[in-house]
Amino acid sequence: MKTSDKPFRICLVVGDWSGDGHDKTTEVTIASNFNEKAIDRAYKRGTKALGFDFSEEVAADYEDTTLSAKHAKAFADKGFSFARWCKNDEGYVLDATSFVTLWLFVVALGDPSFASVVVTDETPTLNVGGYGLFT
């Protein structure tokens, strides 16, 4: 994986990032040639090109794990291939990885010069205690 031309490390939080619902999240770290502000600007332009706000309309409700046929068509019309994706009666099955893949596609749609790779964080973990600090 070449990250030398992608100096920015960004942690994408998928799920209930505010903690006001089910409080479950997954973090995906990317190395990118854009910083977070540039990514946000490109994402907003990408939503306009796509015709809807992906983050607001897809997997936005509890246990909503399907990309609808309508939303999938919008992606396919912009060149996204669902060739190896699992399909159900309503559309395509989503998990955190596929959600991030589509989200990054929206960013690239907003600015084709955007480039990123998912970075596997192999930083060792050391549990240091502090259980009682959280109420």
- Residue 91 DSSP symbol: E
Q: Note the residue count of the chain.
A: 135
Residue 7 and residue 73 in contact, taking contact as beta carbons nearer than 8 Å: no
pLDDT for 22 equals 52
Q: pTM (2 decimals)? A: 0.83
> pLDDT for 53-65, tens place per residue?
999 999 888 778 8
Alpha-helix residue ranges (DSSP H) falling in the chain: 36-50, 54-57, 69-77, 96-110
